[in-house]
Structure 1
Amino acid sequence: MGKYKLDYFSKYYFYEEDNFVNQVEDGEYILSQIKISNRFDYKGNSYKYTKFGNLCKSDTMRDVDIELKENDINVIINGEVSHLDLIYKFETRELEDHVRIATRISEKTDDISCLLYINYDQAKEFIKDLEDVRELQKSNMNK
């Protein structure tokens, strides 16, 4: 297991339009702007409609430290213990200059979709370590 540097780490929060105004700070203003241009960047986040007609808030960070430890079902992202739900979703895709890993991250109130982008130099070892974490998560489910 090891320490890695993600080029990008993005979390995606999804909302029904009916509830958006009540669930997001400045929701009414953001919604009015999305309706004009279909996408709106505000206070470090991007907002847009999804192909299913819901609203999506994306929160993207650059140069994120991630550590995977031996015999641990969790990971450490920028110094915080986090749980990637690798059993539910773990899809990799090779892009032009990164490998993208799609999964979910558990937060106190919700499970959030997320994408991890890592350069090719680290990708093979990182994916192997994530697969080990996933296997440990699976074995904990069967205990």
Structure 2
Amino acid sequence: MENEIEELENLIKESEKTLQSIEKKVDKNTDEISRYFDRINDKLFQLNSLLLGMSSIFSYFKIAQYPKWLILLCIYNLTRLIYLEYLNMESRRNWANLKLEKGETLSNRSTKVSLDVILVTIIYMALTLYNIFFN
């Protein structure tokens, strides 16, 4: 009887260690994923800033009949990127304060905004290249 109790206690201790190890791995992987998203968002911000400068030069010097409304699309995208940075900041703050539900909701929203920014950037680049080479 005592042997069985000791075996059960040992099994419980081992399962607790395994659970703690899994939780550490999940936390580490979550941090890595958020770092990758940060890097992607930083690159998108740089690309959109470059595109905004290029668009401004093209429209100012009237190169290839560049439409000015494309500049507004780029500015829209930059404001979305700033909003995305705000969402990431709030999400991390909530994760740090152990408000997990709210942090998860903000993370999901920031993922959707990030995908939106990527799509708008692709559309913007396609429209810019079309206007440069085919107009």
Asked if Structure 1 and Structure 2 have the same fold, meaning a TM-score greater than 0.5 normalized by the shorter chain, the answer is no
Structure with more strand by fraction = 1
Structure with more helix by fraction = 2
Of structures 1 and 2, the larger Rg is shown by 2
